[in-house]
Amino acid sequence: MPGGYEWVILLALGLLIFGKRLPEVGRNFGKTIVEFKKGIKGIEDDIDTSASRQQISPAPPAQSLPNENQAVSGSSPIDQAQNIDSDPQTVSRQNGE
């Protein structure tokens, strides 16, 4: 990092190089900073609006699908356990088939 005298030398060289164009360089530098800040603010606004949309319309709750051990017909788990242990002919008679 340059020390005190080194900064003075760098500033003097900068004045010699940019002398008459220094106001134009400063103006362009200022415009660049303003445009950069606008871009950052635009990104922040996009993030805020997308976050507020997610809060306003939450995802619908997940629907539970029937387990492979549960019958779709609505029989109780006890009936299903009995059906698993029984032979197929007995099960068909119990279900009224």
pTM of the complete model beyond 0.85: no
pLDDT tens digits along 49-94: 887 777 765 566 666 665 655 555 556 666 666 655 555 565 556 5
Distance CA 6, CA 8 (A): 5
Q: Which of 82, 21, 55, 74 is nearest to 93 (CA)?
A: 82
